[in-house]
Amino acid sequence: MNDMNDDMNDEGLNEDLSSRDGDGREDDGLSGEEDWGDEEFDAGLLEEELRQAAAVLDPVPAELQQIAVDAYALHDLDARVAELTFDSLVDALPARGVNDVPRMLTFRAGEVTVDVEVTARGLMGQVLPPQPARIEVLGGPRPGDPLTVDDLGRFTGDLPLSGPFALRLRTGEDVVVTEWLRA
């Protein structure tokens, strides 16, 4: 038992001398100065420890991480943003007794117009004026295959859309990106 007390005294567990000031009086903590000890406070080290703890306790789902990567891929300084000029959910009158109505969207960027019909089976649309192009559907947990536009400007995609999505249209040197919408 005596050995245990010696070990505790050696480790400084019985008396906390760090809470006493130079006069031997108890420090009330109201002096306004915080004692960080001998180690200098390192915000970068604290941030890294917090990141590691968050990664273990609350990891980012892989699907969300992929969506974030896809959203950042839109960061293209040369891309023109296509404005949504028509959305059948907002602009069209509902038809009575009709279920499973496709969603019609129209985007415009300068002289380029993209009409898109979104259904439960996928999407189809047309680029006007007709021109050779490649369309990428952005969004979802996995990227879809690029869609090829035919000579009349038509394109189809057979993957159903879920969650937020956007379209990136590449025509020669021109890049047009639509705003993000929820399917």
CA 138/CA 118 separation, integer angstroms: 14
168 class by beta-carbon count within 10 Å (0-12 exposed, 13-18 middle, 19+ buried):
buried
pLDDT at 13 over 50: no
For the stretch 126-171, pLDDT in tens is 999 998 899 988 876 556 678 989 999 999 988 888 778 888 888 8
Q: Is 80 exposed, middle or buried (0-12, 13-18, 19+ CB in 10 A)?
A: middle
Q: What percent of the chain has pLDDT over 70?
A: 68
pLDDT value for 125: 94
Is 90 within 8 Å of 72 (Cβ atoms)?
Answer: no
Helix and strand element counts for the chain (H, E): 4, 10
Output the DSSP codes for 151-179.
TTSEEEE-SPP-SEEEEEEEETTEEEEEP
Report the C-alpha gap between 102 and 115 in whole angstroms. Answer: 13
